[in-house]
Amino acid sequence: MSSHRGKVVLVTGAGRGIGQAIADAHAAAGASVAYLDHDPKLAEAASEAARGRGATTLAVAADVADEASVRAAVARVTEAFGPVTVLVNNAGISPKSGADGKRARLGEMGTDEWRRVLDVNLTGAFLCASAVLPGMRAARKGAIVSVSSVAGKTYCDIVGVHYAATKAALIGFTKHLAGELGPDGITVNAVSPGRIDTPLMRGTAPDANEAARMATPLRRLGSPEDVAKTCLFLTSDDAAFVTGQVCDVAGGWLMT
Ligand SMILES: NC(=O)c1ccc[n+]([C@@H]2O[C@H](COP(=O)([O-])OP(=O)(O)OC[C@H]3O[C@@H](n4cnc5c(N)ncnc54)[C@H](O)[C@@H]3O)[C@@H](O)[C@H]2O)c1
Position 159 confidence tier, pLDDT thresholds 50, 70, 90: very high
The C-alpha atoms of residue 83 and residue 65 are separated, in whole angstroms, by 21
Residues with CB under 6 A from ligand 1: 12-13, 15-19, 37-39, 42, 63-65, 90-94, 120, 147, 149, 193, 195-196, 198-201
Residue 248 scores a pLDDT above 80: yes
**Which residue's alpha carbon is at the smallest distance from atom 24 of ligand 1?**
13
pLDDT tens-digit series, residues 103-129: 899 999 999 999 999 999 999 999 999
Tell me what the mean pLDDT of segment 128-140 comes to. 97
Q: Distance, CA 183 to ligand 1 centroid (Å)?
A: 31
Residue 183 scores a pLDDT above 70: yes
Q: Distance, CA 52 to ligand 1 centroid (Å)?
A: 24
* pTM, 2 dp: 0.98
Please identify, by atom number, the ligand 1 atom nearest to the C-alpha of residue 195.
3
Position 154 confidence tier, pLDDT thresholds 50, 70, 90: very high
Among 20, 120, 191, 200, residue to substitute to test ligand 1 (most atoms within 8 Å of Cβ): 200
Q: Distance, CA 36 to ligand 1 centroid (Å)?
A: 12
List of residues 6+ apart from 253 with CB closer than 8 A: 150, 194, 195, 212, 215, 216, 217
CATH, domain range 8-249: 3.40.50.720
pLDDT tens-digit series, residues 11-49: 999 999 999 999 999 999 999 999 999 999 999 999 999
